[in-house]
Structure 1
């Protein structure tokens, strides 16, 4: 089985697909609905509670007030289970929604590449149900600053 599936990520202007997942608290989240009249930062990461993913998620956590001040909802997605996402969110006090995507439905819908059974690190900024920015090679060290810069650029 090929676990390194090459897919094409959704491009700028693409509509958010009609896809649902369960969050860390067991609630069903419909991403199409959640992003319809909102600004959403949707970030994909390989695995909860690993060094790079922790650094990236804690960076977003530490700047969370800035995202809220810009009216941005943050969603993290990995192919982990609901319980793994819950442990990750609780351990690091992550204030945003983490979506469990063990079957890779969201990963596939957004065209995020999988490597060794995990989503690759990518980020999408969505405004009113349409993708307005995509970073296909997210650096966990700089992701928060890059996303905030893009949000501020689009707000001006």
Structure 2
């Protein structure tokens, strides 16, 4: 069952590109979270999306949010990907797609893992979902707009957009 707007984000622990264990619950109460699921390191679309998040990372940080990417690639693959493109945020390895399945991220018609971005507020509530395989920049733009609206109006109920 897919996560919806207003649901509490499921807690999980995965390994990051540095080999450290990352637990989502450790950030709750401290920051909003932009959690983006992407198909694969070093592919054209995933590289564009990740670099778009990189290019706006300082703005996300200034707005009180942390960006986290998740794919099934290994921690070593993530480390090389992050190094090659100077990605300043955490990339998590979900090799068995357990967390992807927890969130209900669909596969595409091409049988690739889907590309979905979730914005989670400081309390762990999902406020925005954007699902599009093709519009890489919109993942960043919509996440940033949502983060800014959360900071301006904490009672925002959120929305889901599919392109």
- Secondary structure at 1:119 match in 2: coil
Residue aligning to 1:5: none
- Secondary structure at 1:35 match in 2: coil
Residue aligning to 1:75: 68
Q: Quote how far apart the aligned CAs of 1:136 are.
A: 2.0
RMSD: 1.6
Contact map agreement 1:41 1:126 (CA 8 A) in 2? yes
**Residue 146 of structure 2 is aligned with which of 140, 146, 150?**
150
Distance 2:98 2:75 in 1: 14
Aligned length: 149
Work out whether 1:130 is the aligned partner of 2:91. no
Distance 1:111 1:119 in 2: 11
Distance 2:107 2:26 in 1: 25
> How has the CA–CA distance of structure 1 residues 118 and 101 changed in structure 2, closer, same or farther, with 3 Å as cutoff?
farther
Contact map agreement 2:130 2:139 (CA 8 A) in 1? no
Contact map agreement 1:79 1:118 (CA 8 A) in 2? no
Q: Quote how far apart the aligned CAs of 1:153 are.
A: 2.2
- Secondary structure at 1:142 match in 2: helix
Distance 1:117 1:75 in 2: 23
Q: Quote how far apart the aligned CAs of 1:35 are.
A: 3.0
Residue aligning to 1:56: 49
**Residue 15 of structure 1 is aligned with which of 5, 8, 11?**
8
Q: After TM superposition, which residue ranges in structure 1, 4 or more long, deviate above 6 angstroms?
A: none
Residue aligning to 1:113: 106
Q: For structure 2, which runs of at least 5 residues remain unmatched after alignment?
A: 153-163
**Residue 137 of structure 2 is aligned with which of 135, 138, 141?**
141
Distance 1:37 1:108 in 2: 25
CA deviation map 1:38-84 (0-9, x unaligned): 20000000001110000010011011110010010110000111111
